[in-house]
Structure 1
Amino acid sequence: MLEWLRPYRRAALPGDISAGIVVAMMMIPQGMAYALVAGLPPAVGIYASIIPPLLYALFGTSTTQSVGPMAIISLMTASTLAPLATPGTALYGVLAAQLALLSGLVLLLCGLLRIGFLANFFSRPVMSGFTIGSAIVIAWGQLRTLIGGPIELGMRPHWPSILLGVGSLVLLLAARSHLAPLLRRLRVPAAAADVGSKLAPIAVVLGAMALVQQLGLVQMGVATTGAVPTGLPGLNLATSSQHWQALLQPALLIGFMVFLISMSGAQALALKRGGEKLVSNRELVGLGAANIGSALTGGFPVTGSLSRSAVNFAAGANTQLASMITAGLLALALVLPTGWLALLPLPTLAATIIVAVLGMLDLSTLRTAWHYDRADALALLATAGGVLLLGVEAGVLVGVALSMVVLIWRASRPHIAVLGRIHGTEHFRNVERYSAETTPGLLMLRVDAGLFFGNVDAVNERIDEELVAHAGTRHLVLVLSAVNAIDTSALFGLEELNSSLNRRGVLMHLAEVKGPVMDRLKESDLLGKLNGQVFLSAAIAWDQLAGSRAAGTPAAAAQPAGKP
């Protein structure tokens, strides 16, 4: 916090104040809606939006991150707790806070141990698939609330709820698509127009509350949030000793997703701010503290919200003071009389949730992956399908497993190119891509990956295939310019290859070995057993082995195999 507080300038204050007010207006309906998604009373969504951003401001490194309830994390919370307790009961609320506590401790521990790099094992296509699947699940789950009853044949429609819910949905969709352009045509500044369109939900909510009061819709059967307790949340230390073990694995998964979602939004906004520096391990600490704070005030797991953070940025936020102002205003809303919040109709809240999550259905990643890399596209679709068919947690595990499978599959089949010399130069290129010259008796192969236990057999098999295809080869040169590491299994594989080639009368040479790799090879027996030489470059190997040494090339450039 001191990093942005010490150099704080008065010029930044107006932007922070305006952003704090705007996000607070957005947060009231959104926080209550996401609490409903989590299976909790609407007021809990506001509780989870007060202390968490204050704690994140102490440790987090993003100046525009808005921490609080978020749709996907709310869905994961509901899917975790539903088998353990009935939504709306006291035990359910205790378990929600306990889940936030465990998730926070996991994040805090990861930050202190500096293992934020683990998030890199979740590929962007898999993350996109998870988001798409979750958005569909959330939207489908809100249809019952939107129309005021179950979606079943033979059921009598509840028209007041349907008209209010569908009407709110239409207005929100129209505002999402057309309000900002309309405001720009009315000569409203572009930034203000974008913020205004983001505040459409609060206008729709206020309008729906007015209709509920004026038309007596509660008496007609339209469900509302009900009474919201006045006052700030108290200190919550309640836990269930019987459920720690059941909540541990979901807490690990939720903590992982909290970090991924938060970092993706923070990085996008950091680029807009001109390369703001984010420290992943401090982000883990900040998010961990935020979730612990949510647990201690009766909340549920929270994360950085991309939509709210974007509004925060567009509204002029310069520092985390904007989020602290938002938290203060939300606390003030609870201190003042809260009777007006009881009139908030649930069909309108459902419409707000549906519109918010439909904005997460971004298919651009799928289109790009489909044309660029089908394996990534299939991983995306499988993750989305896993979320829809197997549930949120299973969908995440499917995504992580697929990411690892694709990574291992690619690493186990490295690209190997037959090299030839570009005429009149010292450049060597793949003969399948360039018009490059080769010479009888000399085969030059470039391995484009590190060598390890998972791919050494495949590399040796490919070398054997090339030797069969290039009958009469006397010299095999392995160009290792793209090899960053050789593990023990690969080392033994190369020694076996060298022995096999020696029996067949083929000399094996190495060229362009990187320094760190050479340092490791010096500690092995391979260089002493190598039946060929180690060359500084592919060009020197060509000159010496093809019998056409370039004028002026010193013979010393070819190192004896046993003296690297």
Structure 2
Amino acid sequence: MGGLLQTIGRYLPILDWSRTYTKATLMDDMLAASIVTVMLIPQSLAYALLAGLPPEVGLYASLLPLLCYGLLGTSRTMAVGPVAVVSLMTAAAVGGLGLASLEQKLAAAAVLALASGGFLLLLGLLKLGFLANFLSHPVIAGFITASGILIALSQVKHLLGASVAGDTLPELLEGLWLARNQINLATLLLGSATLLFLFWVRAALAPLLQKWGLSARSAAILAKTGPVVAVVAGVVCARWFDLASQGVALVGEVPARLPALSWPQLDWALWQQLAVPAILIAVIGFVESVSVAQTLAAKRRQRIDPDQELMALGAANISAGLSQGFPVTGGFSRSVVNFDAGAQTPAAGIFTALGMALAVLFLTPALYFLPKATLAATIVVAVLSLVDLSILGRAWRFSRADFLAVASTIVITLLAGVEWGVSVGVLSSIGVYLIKASRPHLAVVGQVPGTEHYRNVERHQVITQSHVLSIRVDESLFFANARFLEEQIYRKVADNQQIRHVILQCNAVNAVDLSALESLEAINQRLADGGIKLHLSEVKGPVMDRLQRSHFLTALTGNVYLSHHQAVAALDEEDFVI
């Protein structure tokens, strides 16, 4: 019985944290939820606009997903909902289908959420959360930077009141140039004023509030409410000055009702078309979400379970698809605000969902007069903080291979679109890993004078013996790099005819697979044919266990030594006796 409860608790973290839930925790969670709700309303509307969907869809995507994550998630402060990059990917995926009617686009967005959620759920059940590690963070940063540029440019049309089509940098720039004569002056003035206000809020409001006596935490939280003020001001201006009559585009009627639960029509052709975009959205969303969750958890000495996070995000996306929403993930800015506001448990997300439900029922009539330019300005200000071109300089200085991966991801995303960009990012990450893994670092080592330590002969003044070749292997050995080790040893032996012993220092070798074992056997035999003995030193226990299951140690021409110094000393003594 205890084992069953433990298993259930692993899949329902709420059973764990709810046991110690107190009144004080309740008050902290409710306060955080109220702050995040206020912030989430304009964000949900804006990201629905970015995804090319009606504004209420963003509100719907901020209801059930929050409830599901609150029940299943392991992060105490993660705030799930629509985010900029995933919204852009949704727009690219749905827009690429060439659908004519709004109903078809809504169905496609729901299918995208369902497929993405199903893929995440499958990975969670199979405990494959580690696969996200193959997408390097520099590549993710490059993809997000390029996406931020595309998102900002895609919203310029709403700031100008012009009609612009396109998903890539060349298309958007060409569209903006062709639309230069369509600019609506009232829209331009409103959008520019909103942009200036939001940039001022982001840069100057928090320091100003601190000068007035507020704490740094309170000032930072209040500064995050700038988009809400902008939305209210936009609604008031649009209604007071009748901006619609001057050509300013408004959000229009937003249904004051909760979404009905429904399963999208089973059009298998549609599911097949959206399968790849759904997988890409799932991967990007999961990596972004887990990065945020781990960062915030570390600040409170908490931990998250990546496999359970897959389950929670999968369920959140499935619920979004069933409730007329679109793909969601953990949002960085909202989660930070949730954390700073004092959220203690995932119940804060559940309370946020209740707050969003009340907003859908009672506040949506006021959104009729909300200018789209105002929402566009909030998106531009939010995503420009994601743009970090300095990653190129850091990658160039650190590693040329990483630079090529980051640069190619940015360029392809800008020129070919987000789907191609993330695909290249994934392939680049794997490619960089394989290149590095296939060429393990090998160092010829010698003795540091007066010590028993051995270091790289190219970096230190060390003592070497002309008849002994000591090579330190700094990677695990497997099929991709075993032949490289063979070639390097043969080359070094061929360059020095005095060598009679080769010692492989294996203190950094954590594993040896069957291909690497065969390479070691080939090295042993070929060296023996040339009158050279092969020795191993500092072999780790698990590696030795594997070697003992084979015939390699029996056929080994040399010995296995506990330390490299013992190996060198023994061989010196042996040669001296001879």
TM-based fold match above 0.5: yes
CA deviation vs aligned residue, 1:126-185 (integer Å, no higher than 9, x gap): 110111111111111111111100423561421000000111111111111111111111
- Write the letter of the residue equivalent to 1:27: L
The 5 Å alignment of 1:87-486 reads: 89-150=102-163, 151-153=176-178, 155-241=181-267, 242-272=269-299, 274-336=300-362, 338-363=364-389, 365-486=391-512
CA distance in 1: counterparts of 2:92 and 2:534, whole angstroms? 59
Distance 1:235-1:85 versus aligned 2 partners, 3 A rule: farther
Does 430-439 or 27-36 show the bigger shift? 430-439
Of 71, 76, 80, the match for 1:67: 80
CA deviation vs aligned residue, 1:202-226 (integer Å, no higher than 9, x gap): 1011111111111110111100100
CA distance in 2: counterparts of 1:461 and 1:549, whole angstroms? 27
CA distance in 1: counterparts of 2:112 and 2:217, whole angstroms? 38
CA distance in 1: counterparts of 2:87 and 2:481, whole angstroms? 42
- Write the letter of the residue equivalent to 1:477: I
Stretches of 4+ moved more than 4 A in 1?
none
CA distance in 2: counterparts of 1:277 and 1:394, whole angstroms? 34
CA distance in 2: counterparts of 1:294 and 1:416, whole angstroms? 51
- Write the letter of the residue equivalent to 1:245: Q
Contact kept, 8 Å, 2:161 with 2:182, in 1: the verdict is no
Contact kept, 8 Å, 2:129 with 2:310, in 1: the verdict is yes
CA deviation vs aligned residue, 1:252-302 (integer Å, no higher than 9, x gap): 221122211111111111122x22110111111111111111111111111
User: Deviation at 1:521?
Assistant: 1.7
CA distance in 2: counterparts of 1:86 and 1:147, whole angstroms? 26
CA distance in 2: counterparts of 1:401 and 1:231, whole angstroms? 43
CA distance in 1: counterparts of 2:388 and 2:25, whole angstroms? 34
CA distance in 2: counterparts of 1:14 and 1:126, whole angstroms? 40
Distance 1:27-1:260 versus aligned 2 partners, 3 A rule: same
Of 50, 65, 84, the match for 1:37: 50
CA deviation vs aligned residue, 1:356-397 (integer Å, no higher than 9, x gap): 110111345444333222322221121111211121111111
What is aligned with 1:559?
A: none
CA distance in 2: counterparts of 1:365 and 1:16, whole angstroms? 36
- Write the letter of the residue equivalent to 2:417: G
What is aligned with 2:559?
A: 533
Between the two proteins, what is the percent identity of the paired residues?
Answer: 46
Residue aligned with 2:324, SS: coil
CA distance in 2: counterparts of 1:451 and 1:282, whole angstroms? 31
User: Deviation at 1:47?
Assistant: 0.9
User: Deviation at 1:511?
Assistant: 1.7
Residue aligned with 1:152, SS: helix
Residue aligned with 2:510, SS: coil
Residue aligned with 1:477, SS: strand
User: Deviation at 1:400?
Assistant: 1.0
Does 274-283 or 481-490 show the bigger shift? 481-490
Residue aligned with 1:246, SS: helix
Contact kept, 8 Å, 2:440 with 2:481, in 1: the verdict is yes
CA distance in 1: counterparts of 2:412 and 2:100, whole angstroms? 24
CA distance in 1: counterparts of 2:479 and 2:355, whole angstroms? 58
Does 380-389 or 85-94 show the bigger shift? 85-94
Contact kept, 8 Å, 1:94 with 1:240, in 2: the verdict is no
- Write the letter of the residue equivalent to 2:409: T
- Write the letter of the residue equivalent to 1:380: V
- Write the letter of the residue equivalent to 1:125: P
User: Deviation at 1:549?
Assistant: 10
User: How many residues are aligned here?
Assistant: 550
User: Deviation at 1:447?
Assistant: 1.3
CA distance in 2: counterparts of 1:93 and 1:278, whole angstroms? 33
Compute the RMSD of aligned alpha carbons. Answer: 1.9
User: Deviation at 1:339?
Assistant: 2.0
CA deviation vs aligned residue, 1:217-247 (integer Å, no higher than 9, x gap): 0111100100011121112223241312112
Distance 1:2-1:490 versus aligned 2 partners, 3 A rule: closer
User: Deviation at 1:337?
Assistant: 5.6
CA distance in 2: counterparts of 1:342 and 1:386, whole angstroms? 38
User: Deviation at 1:54?
Assistant: 0.7
CA distance in 2: counterparts of 1:366 and 1:68, whole angstroms? 30
Query: What TM-score results when the alignment is normalised by the length of structure 1?
Result: 0.94
Does 234-243 or 413-422 show the bigger shift? 234-243
Contact kept, 8 Å, 1:85 with 1:92, in 2: the verdict is no
Contact kept, 8 Å, 1:443 with 1:470, in 2: the verdict is no
